[in-house]
Every structure is written in C-alpha cells, then in structure tokens.
Amino acid sequence: KYGHPIYLLETFVERERFQGICYQAANWIYVGQTKGRSRNDRYNSLKVAIKDIYL
C-alpha cells in the first residue's frame, strides 16, 4: 500500500497475564520492558500493566 518494505516489527506482551512463549518459539528477540506508563500519563500517576517488548 505505501510502496516500501517492512524492516522491523514489534509486539508488546502483558507480563502479568502472558509469558510470550509463542514469540520466543518463533525466534522473536526480547529487548526489554515498558515502564508501566501510557501515552495519556502526563503526571506519573496513571499506571498500566508492564509489558515485555519483542522485536
């Protein structure tokens, strides 16, 4: 649609509910964790679930 190739994909896995086994089995690379903030968190008060990041 946009005329250029895809070079990178990322996914977020909620740690409290899932282990990300399917991504590990598919050789996705674990790169770290989120901080538990959302884009609507202006004042460090809103907490969301910490997620693992895979590439």
DSSP 20: -
Supply angle C-alpha 14, 48, 51, rounded to 5.
Answer: 25
What does the radius of gyration of the chain's CA atoms come to, in whole angstroms? Answer: 14
The pLDDT value given to residue 43: 75
- How much is the pTM? 0.79
User: Which band of pLDDT confidence, cut at 50, 70 and 90, is reported for residue 48?
Assistant: confident
What does the pLDDT look like over 6-46, one tens digit per residue? 999 999 999 899 999 999 999 999 999 998 887 777 777 66
Give yes or no for a contact between 3 and 38, defined as CB atoms under 8 angstroms apart.
no
The predicted structure's pLDDT at residue 38: 79
Residue 46: per-residue pLDDT? 65
